[in-house]
Amino acid sequence: MRLHIFILAVLTAVICTRAQIKHVDIEMSACLEEKHVEDLYELDGEEMAHASFTENKMVMTLPDFADPSTYEDGTYESAVQKQQTCLQGLKIYKHNYNNPTEAKDPPRSSIYPKDYVTPGVMNTLVCHVTGFYPPELRVKWTKNNEDVTEGVTISQFRFNEDGTFNAFSTLSFTPEKGDIYTCTVEHRALQEPLIREWDADDEITVPSIGPSVFCGVGLTVGLLGVAVGTFFLVKGNSCN
């Protein structure tokens, strides 16, 4: 387990079973020094909400529903208290174990568009980063070798079952032929930045005229067949 190295986490997992369907509900409260504290709730691997310590409130991350889910009053205040407990426990742990060697796991990343790519139509590029520890990360985007900061987001760090973390960074963009985007990940477990490239030319394809040609030929042959059949039918009736 990596959570005992420079991070103290409190995990609560509830497994609900009904009609032989298993659901896993997790609350994670974690701290990595004072520069990174986190408290979030997940259901079946999907984040439901997290505590925003900059906005001083719980932030719901599920899509809007007719009957949206909410958390009871005091949930955010409870998250703040748990973070203080986590930081105090972390100091005691580091003192007792004489600053143990930090565990490090390098991230893996992938880049892909959220929707089908159409030239000139707004879309979203997704950079998924997973398998990293500790939960610190820097993600940078470029377009044609130029840094991009507008339209960039990054999610909360999410907990993997093996003790590592994952996160999503997104970039809102309008695809055009010839554009090349990159997602660069920096992490202390990497010897050099991890770069993933997305080439618009690989996703944008010119519509083929083949189907139209085949359709036209097929229609012509079909009409010719009808005409020939009608001719012989009329001729046969005339002979009778």
Local structure of 20: helix, strand or coil = coil
Domain assignment of residue 56, yes or no: yes
Mean pLDDT of 93-97: 80
Q: What percent of the chain has pLDDT over 70?
A: 72
Q: Say which residue, 71 or 238, is predicted with more confidence.
A: 71
Domain assignment of residue 237, yes or no: no
Where are the extended beta strands (E) located within the chain?
Answer: 8-18, 21-32, 36-43, 46-52, 57-60, 108-113, 123-132, 138-143, 146-148, 152-154, 158-159, 165-173, 180-186, 194-199
Mean of pLDDT over the chain: 79
CA–CA separation, 85 and 79 (whole Å): 10
CA–CA separation, 143 and 230 (whole Å): 62
The parent domain of residue 40 ranges over: 8-96
Residues 166 and 194 in one domain: yes
Of the listed ranges 18-22, 125-129, 188-192, 215-219, the least confidently predicted one is: 215-219
CA 203 to chain centre: 19
The total domain count for the chain is 2
DSSP 106: -
Mean pLDDT of 198-207: 81
Domain harbouring 67, CATH code: 3.10.320.10
How far from 147 is each of 104, 180, 200, 214, 229, CA to CA, in Å?
28, 12, 17, 46, 67
Of the listed ranges 14-28, 79-93, 106-120, 121-135, the least confidently predicted one is: 14-28
Domain assignment of residue 148, yes or no: yes
Residue where a domain terminates, one of 40, 61, 96: 96
- Give pTM, 2 decimals: 0.67
Domain harbouring 173, CATH code: 2.60.40.10
Q: Say which residue, 60 or 200, is predicted with more confidence.
A: 200
Q: Tell me, what's the pLDDT at 19?
A: 55
Local structure of 72: helix, strand or coil = coil
Residues 113 and 197 in one domain: yes
Domain assignment of residue 42, yes or no: yes
